[in-house]
Amino acid sequence: MRGTARRRTSAGPPAGEDHRSGGRPADLTPESTLTSTSRTAPTPPTASEAATERRSTEPVTPAPAAADRFVHWRAAGVSVVLALDPVGGLLPQVVHWGADLGDLDARDLAALALAAVPSVGDHPTDVVRQLTPLPEHARGWVGRPGLEGSRAGRDWSPTLRLRDQDVTTAGDGTARLTARAGDPVARLEVLLELELTPSGLLRTRAQVTNTDGVEPYRLDALRLVLPVPPEAGELLDFTGRHTLERVPQRTPFAAGLHAREVRTGRTGLDAVHLLCAGTPGFSSRAGEVWAVHLGWSGNQVHDAERLHNGARVLGAGELLLAGEVELAPGAAYRSPWLYASHGQGLDAVAGRFHAWLRARPDHPARPRPVTLNTWEAVYFDHDVERLTGLAGIAARLGIERFVLDDGWFGSRRDDTSGLGDWRVSADVWPDGLHPLVDRVRELGMEFGLWVEPEMVNLDSELARAHPEWLFSAGGRVGDPSRNQHVLDLAHPEAHEHVRSHLQALLDEYAIAYLKWDHNRYLVDAGHTPGGEPGVHAQTRATYRLLDELRAANPGLEIESCASGGGRVDLGILQRTDRVWASDTNDALERQGIQRWTQLLLPPELVGTPVGPPRSHTTGRTHDLSFRAGTALWGHMGVEWDLAAASPGEQEELAAWIALHKQLRPLLHTGTVVNGDHPDPHVQVHGVVVPGHDDALYALVAVGRSVTWPPGPARLPGLHPDRRYRVRLQPPGTDTGGGWPGLPPWCADDAGVVLTGRSLALAGLQVPPMHPEHVLLVRATAVTED
């Protein structure tokens, strides 16, 4: 990675305070200090600049030399070229974000920027668009502006003049740019940040400060965008519902606005997940793709916009409800990070996210414990003997973490009462949780506990004592969902109540893991007593609560669950150690849910359970080999009443758990790959270990092919010039039937030896398989004689 052009002028006024707090703003947590590297002297504006910026009296400097006017960052096959205006000009513009352009000198960069300037249209009122990551209406951008708001109807169209900008490189190799701009008439200041990480992941965010000393400023939106070229002619994003999350959908990148809004107060079961634009027909391994993701766990909007003048952008931001953020004098709001990934094929896009996440200092490093959750086994029927018996079976099968789910606290015998009363129920647990926790730990397993700290039943001690802590708009508490309502954590007392009760549990019991659930939408979410919208403050308060618990309890792991996969984003993942991908226990549907969840997250962050033989979410029945062969590919666990499993099933499950433990170093550090098989009923995916010495693939029959055999499957990701012995990996050898004439390569343990290039380009024949079965294929590098 390299950067050119280092420049900084004097900084503007200090950042203000958050609109809801009296101290340092919750939205303004500094992550680094950027140093001043050089300074330019101010000069009067040119005539054209003065005409464009007639409202501003800020001084400007002469246009710097080409070497100082451009930044070229390169990392892992990605180039980002930024054009830097002199002080008094525009915020930095993204000239190029995409494939690596190679070594470019200052002359090359100047020519590139010149070649990228669009022509004026054929209408006399057209202007050359001046697009920055925070597009401005006043500068001719007629799409969605980046900054929207007003001061009692005024100052709604700010013109931002650059005050200073700085380019640095962090110790981990991340290249950073910060730029500060302001509008003295609108009395606003904006801080823009851009970063390119060593994995080639680009991210940006912005902060707006009300510099007026008297009047508040109502902020309606702060959205960031990045340009994509005309080749990006097709869009891919995701939708879904409970037990069927992350369903892909494709549309042409047509003229106009493609906007996806989330107003449920969490990332969403129907979340966009990633908004991708690419060459039409792009797939896992082919086609150029640009993708964005918003690292935020509350209301949000993603959009793809194509204007009549040819401009195309992808962007996102927090969706602010009416009047939700009003900046008092001196106050500031900072947007969530917008993450952006580019690559050839979706696997390359995913790889940048995976590499960045794995490089974090707090990324889970120890082997991910195989986890049993008790929900499917006992539901609300908590009995210490039954649960300790289940723990004994789990330990014998090799399970490493035992999680007690809903029903252990207060009056919680069903979902109608007790939620919010985070004390162990004396009725069900007269000796507390100690008998179970002690037994679990004696068996060599960790103990985990289910909680839902943001929610409350009306029939609870908490709701009766503090009805003012519940969200209420217009004097109503709103309709319940699953018999529950939302506890407004923006009340400091409510926040402290929950924190102290959870901490008391963590102090009394050896709890290694919290399954943190979130089962109600934040609709009608009014902050009492006035009823102002409270989703933004609730999201921030939840982040603070998680941060406080993690800081006070080193080593505590937390899972993000929200009716299944309803809170999967890079905001919550900075505070949790894995996500619950879905409440479905149907292995067929989990094949797709896990595949697309891993477009953003590496396997070790995605909970993947083995469910019971018959799925209660769909009614389908699957062999254990398919259920376990699906669960293998993430942070493996079990949601099944093992006491009801036959001895043969228990023995087979133990073999799958042993295989997962053996393969964890591969599965949880390797590169995720997906094959593009032309038959939609055959799916191919795998993980290749760093160094390309070893790989595991799955051949999955998700349906019945019209033609049989369906043809060879290509195995991507191996070193092209090395040879690999390829054979079936037990216990994943169940095809579902006693087929005659298996392909020779899988007929015996010897397998076949092929080069990585041959496996990627020619592949090997798929054995005959019944639908909803999976075969595991191991490819191990052969040592040459």
> Which residues does the annotation mark as catalytic?
517, 583
Pair 343, 356: CB distance under 8 Å: no
Interatomic CA distance for residues 644 and 648, integer angstroms: 11
Structure tokens given for 456: 């409350």
**Are 222 and 301 within 8 A, CB to CB?**
no
Give the separation between CA 761 and CA 749, rounded to whole angstroms: 24
302: enclosing H helix or E strand: strand 300-306
Q: What are phi and psi of 332, to 5 degrees?
A: -135, 155
What is the C-alpha separation between 461 and 425, in angstroms, rounded? 13
- φ and ψ at residue 58, rounded to 5 degrees: -70, 140
What are the DSSP calls for 90-114, one per residue?
Answer: PPPEEEEEEE------HHHHHHHHH
Residues 6+ apart with CB under 8 A from 346: 276, 282, 283, 284, 289, 599, 674
Cα(478)–Cα(461) distance, rounded to whole angstroms? 19
Residues 745 and 751: their CA atoms lie apart, in Å, by 5
Nearest-angstrom CA–CA distance, 486 and 521: 8
Instruction: State whether residue 567 is helix, strand or coil.
Output: coil
The enclosing H or E element of 180 equals: strand 175-183
For 623, other C-beta atoms within 10 Å of its C-beta total: 17
Identify whether the C-beta of residue 147 lies closer than 8 Å to the C-beta of residue 44: no
What count of other Cβ atoms lies within 10 Å of the Cβ of residue 380? 14
Length reported for the chain: 785
For the chain, the helix, strand and coil percentages under 3-state DSSP, each to the nearest 5: 20, 30, 50
CB 196 within 8 A of CB 174: yes
Instruction: Say if residues 725 and 783 touch (Cβ distance below 8 Å).
Output: no
For residues 699 and 767, give the distance between their C-alpha atoms in angstroms, rounded to a whole number.
9
C-alpha dihedral sign at 21, 22, 25, 29: negative
Angle at 537 between CA 332 and CA 463, to 5 degrees: 155
Q: Closest Cα to residue 466, out of 478, 458, 454, 475?
A: 458
Nearest to 533 by CA among 364, 319, 676, 330: 319
Largest CA distance in the chain: 86
Beta strands, E only, 472-611: 485-486, 513-516, 526-527, 532-533, 557-560, 578-580, 606-610
What is the C-alpha to C-alpha distance for residues 625 and 139, in angstroms, rounded to an integer?
60
* Angle at alpha carbon of residue 68, lines to 65 and 71, rounded to 5°: 135
CA 169 to chain centre: 25
The label of the residue with tokens 């800020």 reads 58
Cα distances from 209 to residues 224, 330, 350, 532, in angstroms, run 16, 6, 34, 21
